[in-house]
C-alpha cells in the first residue's frame, strides 16, 4: 500500500465573511484579497511541508494545477515540482498534473515533464488532468465544445513526442508542428507512469482501463460517496477482461490525526470548515460550462469533480457528521487506521493521496498530524495489497547513478 | 406545418427542419438556445410566407456539430440547405447566433439573400459595452439571463412539449454547447469586417432588455451594413421571439413585404 502527501496550497487568509461578500473563490475572486508578502511565507511553508513528508517516508509528494483562484496557489505545478526534485532524493514527485489541453503546443508538457524526470532521476509521475471547468473554460478560455477532443489530441502528441526517437511532423486538428523532437527525453522508459485525475467523467474509466493508466479519483465528498465512481472503474476493467490491480486506482482523502478525538475536533476541524466554506465556495455558473461534461456523463448523474453541485456538501456540518459521512477521516491514530483500512479495502485502491494539510491549517499543526500519520498509521496499513505488483510507481535510477545536489550554500564571510 | 429532414450530402447527418405557410420563401435561423418547435412567432410569419425553420447542426435533433469548425462552415451548410430545397433566393430572418449566420450568408452569398431581418444579433464585441456571459450561468436558472422577464423562461422550458427535467437540462446543455463552439469565450466572430459586403436590404432589431447583446450594439451593426435600418422592441430580452412573438413576426413580415 502506498501513501502520497498532497497539499492543495490554499490561500489561508480569506476573510470570515468571504461567503457573504464574494460569489466565488474561483475565476472572478477579488485579487485584492491576495497579499504577496504573506504569499511568500505561505509558499515556503507549503514546500517545507512537502519536503517534511518526504523525510517521514511518504511514497510520493504531490502538486497540481489551478488558475485564477484562492483554492490552490499552483498555476504552474511544474515550478513546484522542480524545486521539490532538487530538494528531495527518494520520494516520487507526483505531478497531478499539468492540464494538457491548455498548453499550446503541448510539446511544452512533454518537455517540462521530461526535464523533471531527468532532474529527479526518474521519480516523476505524470498526471494528465482535463482540468476543472473553472480553470480550463473560464480562466484559460478553452472552448468547452472542443476541450475533450483537444485533450485527446494533446495526449497522443505528448506520448508520441516521448516515445518516437525520430523527428516527426504532427498534422493535428489543434496542433500543426513540422518538426517534433523534444530534448531532453525522460529517464523512465517508455515514459513516466501516467495517472489520470478524474471524477466527473465516465469516459475516463475506459481511457484508463484501455491504456493501462492509473485512475485517480479526486473528490472532497469523501470515500463513502466515492464507491459509485471507483466501482465504475473497477467494473470497466473487469468488463474489458483485464486483471484487477489495486495499484491502478488512487483516491484523495482529507485526514486529521491527533492525540485525541477532542483535539481533532477542537484544534483541527476549524481548518476543515475553512476549506469547505471558503475554498469550495464556487459560483455554480463557473463549475460546468456547456459541453464540459459529456451527455453520457450528465445522464449518469455525475457531478464535476470540484465545484459540482455536491461540493458544498460539508458546509454547515458538524465534526461528527463530517466523519460519519466520510468527508473527513479524523481522530486518534487508532481511529484513523481503522477508517483508512475501510477506505482502502472498500474502494480497492493501492494509492491514497493524504490531504493532511487542510484549509488554513498552520504549519506546526500540520507537521504534528503528518508525523502521527507517518509513524502510527502508515506502518499498520503497509501490508495491504501484498502480492500485487505496483506498475504505476516511478522507476528511479539506481542509487549509484543519482546526483548529489549540494546543500544550500552560505555566503562566504569576509 | 410539417416537420421534415433532409440530407445535404451522402453520409452527412440529416438536417431537421419545419416548413409551413405559403408565399415568398423565408429562411428562419434560430437563436443560441435553439428552436422550440413551430414557435408562435414562426406560425404568425407563416400566415404570409412559406417559412423554413431548420435546427442548426448540433442543436435539437440536428447532428453534425463536429463537422463544423467555423462560421464559414455554417454558411456553406446553409448554402447547401438552400440548394437541396431548390431555393434560389430567400428572405432571411436571423435571431441571436442565427442573425450572425444570416449576416455571414448575406455577405458571402449576396445572390442568395433577398431581404434580411437581424434580431438581437450576436457576433460583435465592444469592451465598452460587453454584455453578460450567456454560458456562465447558474445551471438551475441557466437561461434566465436570456429574458427580460425571467417568468417567461417557462416558454423555453416547455420546448417541444418536453417537461422531463433531465431531458430538458441535457437538451439545454447540448444547445448551449453548440453555441459555445462558435461564441466561446468572447462572441467576437469577425463578422464586422464582412458586413459592408451585404447587399440585401437589412433591418436590425434590438431588444430593450437584452443583457447578452445590449441594445448599444445595434448602432454598430447598422453603421457597418450599408443602408440598413434599426428598431428596438420594448419589454423583451435576448430571446425576443419568445417574449414578444407577435412583434417579432410583424417586424420581419412588414420588412419583407415593404416595397423597396
Domains of chain A: 2-401 (3.20.20.30)
What are the tens digits of pLDDT across the range B210-224? 999 999 999 999 999
Which residues of chain A neighbour B171 with C-beta distances below 8 Å?
none
Please check whether residue B157 is in contact with residue B132, taking contact to mean a CB–CB distance below 8 angstroms.
no
Spatial CB neighbours of A310, under 8 Å, sequence gap ≥ 6: A221, A225, A303
First to last CA, chain B: 30
Dist. CA A392–CA A81, nearest whole Å: 18
Quote the strand ranges of B99-183, DSSP E. 113-119
CB contact (8 A) between residue B173 and residue A295 = yes
Interacting residues of A284 by C-beta distance below 8 A, sequence separation 6+: A307, A309, B138, B139, B140
Q: Which of B57, B135, B145 to mutate to test the interface with A (most CBs of A within 10 A)?
A: B135
DSSP per-residue letters across A284-333:
GGGT--TTTS-HHHHHTTPPPTTTSGGGGGGTT--HHHHHHTTSEEEESH
Are A141 and B170 a contacting pair at CB < 8 A?
A: no
Chain B partners within 8 Å of A298 (Cβ): 169-170, 173
pLDDT level of residue B142 (50, 70, 90 thresholds):
low
Considering only CB atoms, which residues of chain B are within 8 Å of chain A? 65, 133, 135-140, 166, 169-170, 172-181, 184-185
Distance CA B225, CA B124 (A): 13
Is the pLDDT assigned to residue B69 strictly greater than 60? yes
Peptide bond into A190 cis (omega under 30): yes
Record: contact B139-A291, CB cut-off 8 A: no
Spatial distance between the Cα atoms of B51 and B35, rounded to a whole number of angstroms: 14
Where is B142: in which H helix or E strand? none
In this structure, are residues B234 and B210 in contact, taking their beta carbons and an 8 Å threshold?
Answer: no
Residue B160 has pLDDT above 60, yes or no: no
Domain boundaries along the sequence of chain B: 2-257
Cβ pair B184:A145 closer than 8 A: yes
Give contacts of B172 with chain A, Cβ < 8 Å.
290
Specify the DSSP class assigned to residue A73: -
Q: What digits encode the pLDDT tens for the residues A308-322?
A: 544 568 899 999 999
Residue of A nearest to B165 (CA): A299
- Mean pLDDT computed over every residue of chain B: 94
Count Cβ atoms within 10 A of the Cβ of residue A168 and give its class: 0-12 exposed, 13-18 middle, 19 or more buried: middle
Cell triple for residue A82?
522542480
In terms of Cα–Cα distance, which of A212, A255, A223 is closest to A344? A223
**Cβ–Cβ below 8 Å for B170 and A299:** yes
Could you list the pLDDT tens digit for every one of the 414 residues in chain A?
999 999 999 999 999 999 999 999 999 999 999 999 999 999 999 999 999 999 999 999 999 999 999 999 999 999 999 999 999 999 999 999 899 999 999 999 999 999 999 999 999 999 999 999 999 999 999 999 999 999 999 999 999 999 999 999 999 999 999 999 999 999 999 999 999 998 667 788 999 999 999 999 987 888 878 888 899 899 999 999 999 999 999 999 999 999 999 999 999 999 999 999 999 999 999 999 999 988 888 887 765 555 554 456 889 999 999 999 999 999 999 999 999 999 999 999 999 999 999 999 999 999 999 999 999 999 999 999 999 999 999 999 999 999 988 877 777 776
pLDDT at position A119, please? 98
| Residue A216: partners with Cβ closer than 8 Å, 6 or more residues away | A96, A127, A195, A196, A197, A198, A249, A250, A251, A252, A351, A353
How far apart CA A55 and CA A73 sit, in angstroms, is 23
Q: How large is the average pLDDT for residues B126-145?
A: 86
Which pLDDT belongs to residue A310? Answer: 45
Instruction: Choose which CATH entry (3.40.50.12160, 3.40.50.850, 3.40.50.1820, 3.30.1050.10) describes domain B2-257.
Output: 3.40.50.1820
Per-residue CA distances from B89 to A167, A259, B109, B140 (Å): 52, 82, 10, 42
Residue A68 · residue A27 · CB < 8 Å: yes
- What is the grid cell recorded at A170? 504532427
Q: What is the DSSP string of B170-194?
A: HHHHHHHHHHHHHH-SS---SGGGT
> Which residues in B lie closer than 8 A to residue A284 (C-beta atoms)?
138-140
Cβ pair A145:B180 closer than 8 A:
yes
Set of chain B residues whose Cβ sits within 8 Å of the Cβ of A287: 139
Chain A, nearest residue to B65 by Cα: A145
CA nearest to B133 within chain A: A285
**CA B54/CA B42 separation, integer angstroms:** 12
Query: In B, which residues are within 8 Å of A283 by CB distance?
Result: 136, 138
Q: Which residue of A has its CA nearest to B178?
A: A145
**Interface with B, mutate which of A173, A290, A297, A304 (most B CBs under 10 A):** A290
Distance (Å) of CA A399 to CA A195, A359, A392, A393, B20: 25, 37, 20, 17, 79
Question: A295: which chain B residues are within 8 Å (Cβ-Cβ)?
Answer: 170, 173-174
Is the CB of A284 less than 8 angstroms away from the CB of B166? Answer: no
d(CA A225, CA A220): 9
Per-residue confidence band for B170, with pLDDT thresholds at 50, 70 and 90 = confident
Question: Is B139 close to A309, i.e. CB distance below 8 A?
Answer: yes
Amino acid at each position: 500500500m502506498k501513501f502520497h502527501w498532497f497539499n492543495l496550497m490554499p490561500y489561508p487568509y480569506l476573510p470570515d465573511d468571504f461567503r457573504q461578500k464574494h460569489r466565488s473563490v474561483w475565476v472572478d475572486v477579488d485579487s485584492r484579497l491576495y497579499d504577496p508578502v504573506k504569499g511568500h511565507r505561505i509558499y515556503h511553508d507549503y514546500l517545507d511541508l512537502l519536503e517534511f513528508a518526504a523525510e517521514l517516508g511518504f511514497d510520493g509528494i504531490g502538486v497540481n494545477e489551478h488558475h485564477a483562484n484562492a483554492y490552490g496557489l499552483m498555476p504552474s505545478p511544474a515550478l513546484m515540482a522542480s524545486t521539490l526534485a532538487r530538494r528531495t532524493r527518494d520520494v516520487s514527485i507526483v505531478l497531478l498534473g499539468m492540464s494538457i489541453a491548455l498548453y499550446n503546443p503541448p510539446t511544452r508538457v512533454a518537455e517540462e515533464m521530461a526535464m523533471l524526470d531527468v532532474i529527479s532521476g526518474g521519480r516523476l509521475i505524470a498526471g494528465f488532468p482535463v482540468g476543472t471547468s473553472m480553470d480550463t473554460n473560464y480562466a484559460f478560455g478553452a472552448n468547452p465544445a472542443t476541450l475533450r477532443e483537444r485533450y485527446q489530441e494533446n495526449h497522443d502528441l505528448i506520448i508520441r513526442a516521448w516515445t518516437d526517437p525520430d523527428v516527426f511532423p504532427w498534422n493535428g486538428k489543434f496542433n500543426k508542428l513540422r518538426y517534433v523532437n523534444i530534448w531532453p527525453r525522460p529517464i523512465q522508459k517508455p515514459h513516466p507512469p501516467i495517472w489520470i485525475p478524474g471524477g466527473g467523467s465516465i469516459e475516463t474509466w475506459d481511457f484508463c482501463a484501455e491504456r493501462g493508466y492509473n485512475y485517480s479519483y479526486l473528490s472532497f465528498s469523501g470515500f463513502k460517496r466515492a464507491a459509485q465512481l471507483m466501482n465504475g472503474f473497477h467494473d470497466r476493467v473487469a468488463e474489458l477482461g483485464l486483471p484487477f490491480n489495486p495499484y491502478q486506482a488512487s483516491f484523495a482523502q482529507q485526514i486529521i490525526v491527533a492525540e485525541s478525538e477532542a483535539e481533532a475536533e477542537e484544534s483541527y476541524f476549524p481548518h476543515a470548515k475553512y476549506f469547505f466554506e471558503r475554498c469550495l465556495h464556487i459560483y455554480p455558473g463557473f463549475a460546468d460550462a456547456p459541453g464540459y461534461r459529456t451527455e453520457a456523463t450528465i445522464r449518469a448523474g455525475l457531478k464535476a469533480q470540484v465545484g459540482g453541485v455536491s461540493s458544498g456538501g460539508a458546509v454547515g456540518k458538524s465534526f461528527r457528521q463530517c466523519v460519519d459521512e466520510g468527508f473527513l477521516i479524523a481522530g486518534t491514530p487508532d481511529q484513523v487506521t481503522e477508517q483508512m483500512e475501510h477506505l482502502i479495502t472498500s474502494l480497492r485502491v493501492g494509492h491514497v493521496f493524504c490531504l493532511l494539510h487542510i484549509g488554513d491549517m498552520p504549519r506546526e499543526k500540520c507537521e504534528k498530524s503528518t508525523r502521527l500519520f507517518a509513524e502510527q498509521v502508515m506502518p499498520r496499513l503497509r501490508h495491504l495489497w501484498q502480492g500485487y505488483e505496483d506498475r504505476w510507481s516511478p522507476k528511479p535510477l539506481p542509487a549509484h547513478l543519482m546526483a548529489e545536489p549540494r546543500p544550500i550554500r552560505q555566503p562566504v564571510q569576509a | 406545418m410539417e416537420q421534415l429532414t433532409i440530407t445535404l450530402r451522402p453520409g452527412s447527418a440529416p438536417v431537421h427542419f419545419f416548413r409551413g405557410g405559403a408565399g415568398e420563401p423565408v429562411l428562419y435561423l434560430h437563436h443560441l438556445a435553439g428552436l422550440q418547435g413551430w414557435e408562435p412567432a414562426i406560425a404568425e410569419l407563416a400566415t404570409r410566407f412559406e417559412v423554413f425553420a431548420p435546427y442548426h447542426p448540433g442543436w435539437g435533433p440536428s447532428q453534425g456539430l463536429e463537422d463544423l469548425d467555423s462560421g464559414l462552415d455554417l454558411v456553406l451548410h446553409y448554402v447547401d440547405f438552400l440548394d437541396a430545397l431548390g431555393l434560389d433566393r430567400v428572405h432571411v430572418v436571423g435571431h441571436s447566433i442565427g442573425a450572425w449566420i444570416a449576416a455571414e450568408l448575406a455577405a458571402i452569398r449576396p445572390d442568395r439573400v433577398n431581404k434580411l431581418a437581424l434580431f438581437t444579433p450576436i457576433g460583435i464585441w465592444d469592451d465598452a459595452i460587453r454584455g453578460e456571459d450567456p454560458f456562465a450561468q447558474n445551471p438551475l436558472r441557466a437561461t434566465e439571463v436570456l429574458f427580460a422577464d425571467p417568468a417567461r423562461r417557462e416558454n423555453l422550458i416547455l420546448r417541444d412539449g418536453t417537461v422531463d427535467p433531465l431531458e430538458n437540462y441535457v437538451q439545454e446543455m447540448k444547445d448551449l454547447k453548440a453555441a459555445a463552439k462558435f461564441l466561446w469565450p468572447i462572441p467576437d466572430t469577425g463578422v464586422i469586417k464582412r458586413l459592408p459586403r451585404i447587399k440585401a436590404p437589412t433591418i436590425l432589431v434590438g431588444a430593450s432588455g437584452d443583457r447578452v447583446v445590449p441594445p448599444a450594439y445595434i448602432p454598430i451593426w447598422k453603421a457597418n451594413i450599408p443602408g440598413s435600418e434599426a428598431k428596438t422592441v420594448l419589454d423583451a430580452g435576448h430571446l425576443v421571439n419568445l417574449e414578444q412573438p407577435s412583434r417579432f413576426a410583424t417586424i420581419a413580415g412588414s420588412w419583407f413585404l415593404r416595397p423597396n
